[in-house]
Each structure stands twice: as structure tokens, then as C-alpha cells.
Amino acid sequence: MFEHIRPLDLRSEQRKWRWIFGAIYILLVACFLYFEFRTLPQEWQVDNFLSAIQRQDFQNAYEIWKPASSYTFKNFMEDWGPDGFIGQVNSFEIGNSRSQGSGVLVFIVLNGNKPLLLWAEKSDKSLSFSPFEEPESGLLRVFPASVANLWLVRGQRRAILGISLVLILAGFLLFDSRKNRSLEDQQIA
């Protein structure tokens, strides 16, 4: 009666699901890599700039800043010099960066407690003070500050996402191995 119906090939079914999961996993990893590293050139520019400020190489920092003609070296020193508006930079940490329009907003923390938002232009990597007040918006406002701060620090965010991707893969492999054992048990019986 059922001679025309072929039996289910459990191995090919399993192979199909492995390919589907693999494609989804590769897509997740690609999205993670794209969104995490798309602003890296601008972050490096800010890092080079702040390193020059930190070692008090103000002429080099001014060249990295690539100022408009109206922003003279004297103006720059009033902002970034040791006695300037920003003050002495002993340490800095680059936090979150967000692509927006023609540039990138880079959130930094100077001397462990002074937040600052810089604007890095994508086309020529020139730097300026950000035209925006708020460094973050959206969902991060919903979370407590301790949780939001984990996400704002670039290295911690990358670690959290990397660990999450590894846990997803480990969970699938564990599920797949249990499924294999149950298939083998069914074939033995």
C-alpha cells in the first residue's frame, strides 16, 4: 500500500538542518564583524590624536585634527593645551562609536572620569568636537547605568558578543550530538 513512499533519510534531513544553522550562524558572525569594525579607521584616528595629546606633541595632534582655516593653532591650544579647556590628558579610553551620516561619533573618557564626544569625518578623517550632546540613545536608556556601561566600552561589548556567539555554537553542537545519539538509538532498535 505504501510502497511508492520512500522512507525518510534521517541523515540527509540532519545534513539539511546543519547547513541551515551554519548559514544563519555565518550571517550572525558577518553582521557582528561588520557592525563592530566599520568605524575602526575613525577610532584609530581618534586614538592617534589622543596619544599625541597625551605625550604633548601638540603640533602633530593639530595636524591629525585637520582643522578648518578658522581654527588656528592658538585656538587649538586653548582647547587641548595643558592649561586649555580640556586640560591635561593623562589617560583616555575609547568607548562606543556610532556611524551617523558623513561621520562617526566617538565617545571617549578622559582621565577616567571626563566624558567627551568627538566627531570623525569619514571622507578625510578630520576631527572636531561633536555637534551632538548625547553620546548614546535608544535602548541603552532603558537599562541601569551599570549594564549600559558594559555595552558602551568597546572591548567589553566585543567580548560579550563574542562569548554569546560561542555559546550559541556550543548549544547547537550539544543539541546536535544529542539528536545524533537518539537517531542512532532509533536505528539500533
pLDDT at position 55 is 93
pTM (2 d.p.): 0.68
pLDDT tens digit at each of 189 positions of the chain: 667 776 666 677 778 888 888 888 889 888 888 887 888 999 999 999 999 999 999 999 999 999 888 999 999 999 999 888 888 899 998 887 888 889 998 888 888 888 888 999 999 989 998 887 665 545 455 556 566 666 666 667 777 777 888 888 888 878 777 766 665 666 555
The angle formed by the CA atoms of residues 121, 142 and 92, to the nearest 5 degrees, is 40
The angle formed by the CA atoms of residues 37, 43 and 48, to the nearest 5 degrees, is 140
Per domain, the residue ranges of the chain are 37-141, 153-189
E strand map for 61-177:
92-100, 103-110, 114-121, 127-129
d(Cα 71, Cα 154) in Å, to the nearest integer? Answer: 31
Which amino acid type is present at position 31? Answer: C
Report whether 138 contacts 151 (CB < 8 A).
no
Beta bridge partners of 49: none
